Structure 1
Amino acid sequence: MASRVLRKRTKAYKRRCGVPLMVKIESCLPSLRAPRLGGGGWCHDVESCNARKYTNLGSSNRMERQVPFTGILSNLPSNNPDFSDWNIVVIRYCDGASFSGDVEETNQNGTTLYFRGQRIWKAVMEELFLKGLATANKALLTGCSAGGLATYIHCDDFKALLPNAETVKCMADGGFFLDVKDISGKSYIHDFYSDVVHLQDVGKRFPNCISQMDATKCFFPEEIIKGISTPVFVLNSAYDSVQVQSMLVPSSSDPSNS
């Protein structure tokens, strides 16, 4: 089914993002809450991030006004027996760093870009508290792909917001990206993540981790999950098409492209 759209203009959000907040809500039982963090890859330099701002992955001004709620988002018990009566909130993704960047400067080499995913996360949670999240008895933070990575990053943050809830858990769907070499022996995804981390100052999101290792390593789930205390369910295909095509066999690994 199509979702209902909440498009909220607030001064707080405008300071963080430069565009109106957009989340999509399907309302059911008030005590059951399941925010879902959207995915859509990452941008690793000014050029790629600038290109994204003209798409639905870079600005809420360009996002669809309705999206289908299917799978774990569905309100049909036959399709989604466990969560069909939960309040579902889809949080659209536009920062290009899994809701984890935080850069005050908006002038990036002459281009205006907002690297403020961490502030987006905070602004959305504040808005959802006003919409009833604060009274949740059971809550599940989920996310897919880049949103799955964001779920690992913010899992304990989410639990800390709901100290009185009976149950708070997380489920990352397809977000366990591996720090491995591609078929040519190069560290393609590590180098790509390194660009993301340094461009958006993601390292300060992991103060304990960066005191022990390079900030880029701290952006991989294999390191993030070591510090998560909240129950988290890892859902990942053994043959993740995104990882196979974009990380293990990227176009740069083709000898004819060298």
Structure 2
Amino acid sequence: MADNNSNNPKNTNEVTDPGRRSFVKNTGIAVGGVAGGALLGGLFSSRSKNDSNSNTAADKGSGKEKRYEEARMYFTRIADFAILEQAVERIFPEDDNGPGAIELGVPYYIDKQLAGPYGSNVGDYRQGPFIGSKAAASDSSLDRGQIFINGLRTMDAESQKRFDTNFVKATEDQQLEIMTDFADDKVEVKGISSKGFFNLLRSTTLEGAYCDPLYGGNRDMKGWKMKEYPGAIASYAHMIEEDQFVKMDQVSLTDYQPK
């Protein structure tokens, strides 16, 4: 699919608002009490579209500190990466509880994973028969990198078809409508079911939000800080008998490596 960064006519059709609550209910994002913080609270908050686009990869020169470890390794097209940013931000949006997926570095976490053995399914059983368009990610003939490219570009194509604008420029409600239809398996994606792609996108988004920063996500351990999760603590022996909750500073695996 060719890049489409041109300005499109403003859509005049009314769009039914699926609502954040419906989106959470239908896609199973609310996974019990564990899904607090930005994941659950943020999905019920609203943000302006201008705010949600303010941290996209295309926005350069914003005055923020440049992070040299955050560079695209798998996504050669910035347009694909921008779609990824908006998609993961809809799943894990910024809200009063803390940062969203973009600020947590989730898109770069996913990019790094796809650039390595995970993205090309190294070590997985890769012989047929394959299910095709009804496949989950584990049953597709495509590797995970190809699944992401096909899924993201199909999201963009759906936005063009429905709203006459690309996915990045669509409103938040329009993006949620498309993603809800992906989760409900109502969209055709080459080589995999749309539900299979959405499930893969959702799981990697959560991984990027809460992984050890060593792996490229959970920037500055902010995902852990929202949960008051201490991270890679070597031992709890000194506090195991405490009756009250003990708040601790976060520790990454990199803190155990010699300087």
TM-score by length of 2: 0.26
Greater relative CO (CA pairs within 8 A, separation 6+): 2
Structure with greater proportional helix content: 2
Whose radius of gyration is greater, 1 or 2?
2
Structure with greater proportional strand content: 1
